[in-house]
Structures are given as C-alpha cells and as structure tokens.
Chain A
C-alpha cells in the first residue's frame, strides 16, 4: 500500500484543475449525489440526445479522490453512447472493488484510480460520481447515495 499509488499525478492534477467543472446551461438530466460519511456532495448535469451523451458537467465539494474521479468520468463519457457508458461503469466498478481484477486496457486515464482499491475506506469517494451519473440517467428523483 503506497500513497503514491493513490495520489497519482493524474489524480492530483484533476483535483487541482477539475475538467468540465460547473453547471450545464440546459441539462436534460441531472442528479445530486451525497456521501454521508464524509459530507461529499456532487451534482452531475447531462445533455443526452437519443443514446448519446452530448455534454456533461459537474459541480460539488469533495476530497481529491472524489473530485478527480468525477473530473475523469466527465472526460471519459462525453460523446459516448449509453451502452459504452454502462460498460465503462462496470469496468470502473470492478477496478475499484475487486482486488485481483486486472485493470482493463481500454479504461485510459480512468486507470489512474486503480490505486483506490488498496484503500477500502476511500472506494466510495471514487464511486460517488458514477452512482450519481446512474441516478441522472435513470432520472432518479431521489438523490444518489453511496449507502
């Protein structure tokens, strides 16, 4: 277990300068996510047409892992089809929770989050944005939660 494996350069960079940060002018889907354990809050805004994510932004307050994960997620899903996004979610979920799973080659920059699984207390930080995304896609009325 090495801290440098958790706080990789990509994570530190995306925490300091989160991409796609802020509100979307005209979202047609959005959801709020909350991790009651640490107080992290995220709001994900989507512009979805047919099954294409045309645009995505997020805002909120959280730790480096949750902020960087959300930033990386927005980069990864923008311009993707919903089926691809669902596939990505499953790959990220496995990467975060399965100690022995190999990190898929097609994850790109998201692979920087693979160090999180060595820190079980922090897995929810990384997964909050994905649960929030799912809630937005499901047009969930209730806020997403990691619990």
Chain B
C-alpha cells in the first residue's frame, strides 16, 4: 500500500508461517491455502498463548477486587488498552473503548453520539462502498431521529467521487462515516482528505478501519477523525473484541449507551453517576482475555513491522492481479489505483458459490458472496463475487494454487 517495493528488508515468510499453527493444516488432504483474511485472519501462537496464559494464571474480574488475581487481570487488561492506544497513536487511554468489534463500535457512536444530537433535516453522509455495518446503524438512527442518509457515489473502478462528496456536504450535514478500505473491492480511500473537508465544515467524522489496520499504519491524530473503529479478529487477534477510538471531547459529551456494572461511580435508587472515560462505555464484565490477546496481536504485528507487511502485501496484490487478469473469462471487480491486498472477481459461466466449493476441494479458502456490501454488488450488476484477500503470511505459490484451482473450476463447469 504505502511502501515502495525494495525499500525494506523482505519478510521471511516461511519462518513467519511457522508462527501460525493453523497454516500447517490439511484441508481435504491438501495443504490449506488461506485467502480469506479479509473476513477473518488467523492467529499466531503468541496470541493463542496470551489468551490461554491469562486463563491458566491470571484470571479474575477487572476493576473490582483487592486480591492479587484481580489486580493482575486489571493490569493486563489496562496494559492491552495502552498497547492499542500506541498502535493507533491516540492521545490518551481514555480514548480507547473496548467493544465487541467494528459493528458494535459504529452502533455505539450512532446511538450515543447521534441519537441525542440529530433531528429531522439533519444529514449523515456515507459512501457507496460501505460494509452493511457502516450503513444499517445510520439507517436505524435516521428512523429514530428523522435524519437523512446521503450516499457518495463511486465510479466503475470503485473509487469514491471526491467532488460529489464535497457537493454533498451541506449546512445540515452532521456526520461523515466512511470506510478506510473497502472490504468488497479493496479500494483505499484517501480518508485524510475526506476527514479534513468535513472538519473544515465542523462535521463529525467516523472512519471504519476494519480492513485498514491489518495492512497499514494508522495514526488517528494525523487523520484527525473523531471516531475510528476496528475489529481484533482481522488483526490476527481474537473474535469478539474490537476498539472504538473516540476523540476525548466527543466521548465526554456522549451519554453511556448501555447501563450496568463498571460504567458507574455511584448508584442509588434516586440516581446514578457515571464512571470516567473509557469505562462509561464499557458496561458489564468486558472481554478481558480477548483484549489481552488483542494486545499480543498488536505486539506481534509491530514486531514484524507494518511497513514491511504493507510492502509484502503490495507485492502479493501486484502478483495476484497479474495472474488473475490472465485467467480466461475472469473479470476483476474493483480496479482502484490504490488498493489493499485483496482481489474481488467473477468468472464467466461459473457462479462464485460454485467457485468457492470447487476451490475448497483443493484446499483454497476464499470468500464468495455479497461481502455484506449489497449496494456494491448492485452497482456492478453482480449478485456476488469471489474474493481472495491476502495476509503477510501468504505466498506467490498460494496465489498459483488459486489460479490452478480456478482453471479446474472452468473445466468442470465452463
């Protein structure tokens, strides 16, 4: 994505692969070729161990007990928060809210930020290539408040029309919510420009970073956004844990969105005072093990280095794009000049669902379907696509296996 090939020492991919136990698996007697990282990446041994070590040695509830285990659990949990803060360069730990994932983060903002603020005539701007998780929470908010959803168009390459975006920003625009990287097409949005234009007009911004954080360095201060959401499981961490970064002034101005334990200072039947940030948004016992293991995932990614990861993945993308474009009858969907390491495609005469099954028989795992981005599918006039999405542990040989299996699919059904 960002790095120029040749600028950094290449990854020792064969050694890295040994860190991921699942990559040694056989599927139907064939070596696993895992090319569905955009849906969920795999976990290195260090992440698996961080979670099991926690349960074997340190588990107790956090922020509650004076006993040793509770203190250890709290230290590990808050230590993970600090790792995540550094990872996205937030100013303060108070700006890092642990949530279930990107979806929950966006719902939190829609409800806790949007619902008290928005009314009839107010507008929310999203783009055509959003994941359903960055569409539906805003639609629900519109139903609740009478606000209106505006959608920025894309072109045939899958590039968001920046001029059309500027034209949509009006006096009633209150929130701009955009993907950093499109999960269905791979398009990388120049979110700095989008955010800057919104900020100049006093409009709040949320960036859905689910597909971005595994592939490139993200600096929320440099981006200037009010909210940045991402999931752990696409970042080589556990499922069921994710992060909402929120600018402190924004979070402080928002009411809690769920009530319960941990989010309060005092409770009486006359009233309740809420806890400080970020705990105000973390009602109930959190996913302690998940947060700790996500911290381990961030450690792992940083040890390899996001710049080297970006360089390796840019090479994989270029190689895959070239090899796939040469497959007879294959059309790549999404040809933006700046793309993350994934390729969406359709093959003439072979439905993506059949491709998925035939490739699986050869151990090749890809995603097929609408990728929770039905408006994108409608735009390109396809019901579904096949999507190969790459991680830093993927190789040219695996892309070759994909291309070979695609040839077999065409022979079988074409």
- Identify the A interface with B (CB < 8 A): 1, 3, 6-7, 12, 15, 37-41, 61-65, 67, 119, 121-122, 125
Contacts and interface: CB of A to CB of B under 8 A. Distances in A.
A125 B383 contact: no
Given A62-B351, A121-B357, A125-B353, A39 B383 contact: yes
Contacts of B354: 7, 63-65
21 contacts: A1-B28, A1-B361, A3-B357, A3-B412, A7-B354, A7-B412, A12-B412, A37-B369, A38-B368, A39-B370, A39-B383, A40-B353, A40-B383, A62-B351, A63-B353, A63-B354, A64-B350, A65-B354, A119-B357, A121-B357, A125-B353
Interface in B67-120: none
Interface centre among A15, A64, A121 (most CB of B within 10 A): A64
Interface centre among B358, B368, B370, B383 (most CB of A within 10 A): B383
A12 B354 CA distance: 11
Contacts of A41: 383
Contacts of A1: 28, 361
B286 to A, nearest CB: 31
Contact of A38 (B350, B383, B413): B383
Interface of B: 28, 350-354, 357-358, 361, 368-370, 374, 377, 383-384, 412-413
B383 A64 contact: no
Interface centre among B28, B350, B351, B370 (most CB of A within 10 A): B351
A41 to B, nearest CB: 7
Contacts of B353: 38, 40, 63, 65, 122, 125
Nearest to B382: A39
A40 B350 CA distance: 13
Given A62-B383, A63-B353, 14 more contacts: A1-B28, A1-B361, A3-B357, A3-B412, A6-B357, A7-B413, A38-B353, A38-B384, A39-B384, A41-B383, A65-B354, A119-B357, A121-B357, A122-B357
B351 A63 contact: yes
B413 A64 contact: yes
Contacts of B358: 3, 7
A9 to B, nearest CB: 11
A64 B355 CA distance: 10
Nearest to A125: B353
A23 B153 CA distance: 34
Nearest to A11: B413
A96 to B, nearest CB: 15
Q: 6 smallest A-B Cβ distances: which pairs?
A: A39-B383, A63-B351, A63-B353, A3-B361, A39-B384, A64-B354
A27 B88 CA distance: 60
Contacts of B370: 38-39
B27 to A, nearest CB: 11
A64 B28 contact: no
A63 B384 CA distance: 10
A122 B352 CA distance: 12
Contacts of B357: 3, 6, 119, 121-122
A64 B413 CA distance: 8
A62 B350 CA distance: 10
A39 B412 contact: no
Contacts of B28: 1
Contacts of A37: 369
A39 B369 contact: yes
Contact of B413 (A12, A39, A61): A12
Contacts of A38: 352-353, 368-370, 383-384
Contacts of B374: 39
Nearest to A4: B412
A65 B368 CA distance: 15
Contacts of A7: 354, 358, 412-413
Nearest to B412: A7
Interface centre among B352, B369, B377, B413 (most CB of A within 10 A): B413
Contacts of B352: 38, 63
Nearest to B383: A39
B345 to A, nearest CB: 16
Nearest to B350: A64
B270 to A, nearest CB: 46
Nearest to A36: B370
A61 B383 contact: yes
Contact of B377 (A3, A6, A39, A62): A39
A122 B413 CA distance: 16
